[in-house]
Amino acid sequence: MDSETKKSIESCIVEFPFTSFGFAPLKTPETIDAYKLWLKNNFHGSMAYLQDHLTFKEFPKTLFDQSRSAIVVTKDYYPAPQKSKLPIHNLRIAEYAKSDDYHEWFKNQLDQLITKLEKAFPGEMFTAMTDSKPVLERDLAQQAGLGWFGKNTCLIDSKQGSLFFIGEIYTSLNLEAIKAIHPDRCGTCTRCIDACPTGAIIEPYVLDANKCISYLTIEKKGNIPEELRPQINDWLFGCDICQTVCPWNEKVFGEEIKPKQAEKLTVTSELITELKYLLTTSGKKLMKEFSDSPLSRARGSGLKRNALIVIANLGIKELIQEVIECKKQESIKEVATWCEAKLNSL
Ligand code: B12
Ligand code: SF4
Ligand code: SF4
């Protein structure tokens, strides 16, 4: 890679509000064996697509003809770069979900970057992705020098923390890394492992998704195992605990990031109104209202299921009638019955 190529790409990238970027040649990821073991142990739960993606992740050049390397980009999501129009402001949702869906706006920014790159490099191939194609993104970003794998499995940068998305552009250009591999700075710290309410980080760098609140509230279809429901506490969608306790995020974002998950939410009339809205609005209407938001990933029935768990955990007896009504819907009947029993036992 000559310095002209590097300079030319950099001058295209700096026009965008990205957090950091680097380059990585496409090769078998260093951590592919960890990925294979993770799948073998069924830590991916019902996310069967992660198994189907194995070959493309192991041999990245097979995903697109001509691709040889990747331009890897990160974008901070805290504070929210794009305020979403969600009718939810009081319930606890993961920070990344407070913006519109990054699969849209971040991907659009990457596509706009491609338009510039195509002008600068006519005849070369570029394809943008962010959590949208079979790419082992944390490994790729680590190879591009954009962070280290934390014990919570998130990629962390000592200046940016870990509250960022990863996106990449595969290209036919032959690019070499421009940044050194980031050293592991977890040291003897185990804060994320100790703070995880469900024990999902079963050992440093290994997460069992079956136990993770993020998986349970976003990805899992159907019922959530009863023994895990109390630990979900008041998380309606996603979970940030293993990141907000991390000293590297505290260092970047200050004390404000720390107490976010410390105590239960106060039950206010606004909070009750939001939960009532989730229970009484049809699944179809919820999907329409949340169409631009990451929350749509859980679908209407998933959001209602999560709301019922939050209601039970916060002991919101004011919503008992709405909870009983939910028993009429087959997909949430079991959790509504469980929630009713919890409220009645108070
Ligand atoms: C499936 C998935 C999930 C699953 C499983 C998460 C997981 N840790 O695997 C669930 C639904 C739980 C999830 C949750 C979240 N996710 Co997610 N998720 C993905 C997805 C689609 C695949 C991840 C994957 O391949 N997992 C497989 C396992 C084996 O990989 P891993 O856990 O990352 O582990 C790696 C390292 O730990 C390392 N490793 C393993 N053993 C060892 C041992 C040593 C010694 C070392 C050094 C390293 C090491 O190798 C592994 C493979 O590279 C990616 C997008 C993509 N295409 O890559 C986004 C992605 C990882 N998710 C992302 C985000 C933002 C989240 C959440 C923060 C959302 C939220 N707030 O609820 C949480 C974070 C939870 C957490 N602690 O990971 C971002 C992460 C950005 C970052 N800074 O790291 C990604 C990259 C999406 C994106 N494009 O931005 N996610
Ligand atoms: S996201 Fe929450 S539940 Fe999942 S590993 Fe982190 S702290 Fe545990
Ligand atoms: S909390 Fe500690 S162990 Fe966990 S990722 Fe952060 S620095 Fe590493």
- Shortest CA distance to 58 belongs to which of 141, 140, 131? 140
Give domain status of residue 19, yes or no: yes
Q: Is 18 within a domain? A: yes
State the total domains in the chain.
Answer: 2
Best mutation site among 27, 30, 31 for ligand 1 pocket (most ligand atoms within 8 Å of CB)? 31
* pLDDT the model gives residue 107: 98
146 plus 295 within the same structural domain:
no
Domain stop point among 171, 193, 215? 171
Q: What is the dihedral of CA 205, 298, 321, 231, to 10 degrees?
A: 0
Same domain, 16 and 128: yes
pTM of the model: 0.98
Q: What is the mean pLDDT of each run of 10 residues along the chain (346 residues)?
A: 91 97 98 98 98 98 97 96 85 95 97 98 98 97 98 98 98 97 98 97 98 98 97 97 96 82 85 98 96 96 98 98 98 98 98
At residue 263, the pLDDT reads 75
Give the position, in ligand 3's atom list, of the atom nearest the Cα of 249: 6
Write down the pLDDT at residue 229: 98
Fill in the DSSP letter of residue 9: H
Q: Judge if 165 and 296 occupy the same domain.
A: no
| Chosen domain end from 171, 205, 232 | 171
Res 259: pLDDT: 58
Residue 216 falls inside a structural domain: no
State the residue range of the domain holding 287.
266-346
Co-location of 10 and 151 in the same domain: yes
Same domain assignment for residues 165 and 271: no
- 157 and 18 share one domain: yes
At residue 262, the pLDDT reads: 62
Inside any domain, residue 318: yes
Give the model's pLDDT for residue 23: 98
Closest ligand (CA of 206):
1
Within this chain, do residues 165 and 273 fall inside the same structural domain, yes or no? no
Domain limit, last residue, from 136, 153, 171: 171
Q: Is the CB of 161 under 6 A from ligand 3?
A: no
Whether 245 is in a domain gets the answer: no
So which residues are the catalytic ones? 131
CB atoms within 10 A of CB 181: 14
Domain membership flag for residue 54: yes
Query: Do residues 168 and 128 touch, judged by C-beta distance below 8 A?
Result: yes
Residue 189: burial class (beta carbons within 10 Å; 0-12, 13-18, 19+): middle
In a domain, residue 204? The reply is no
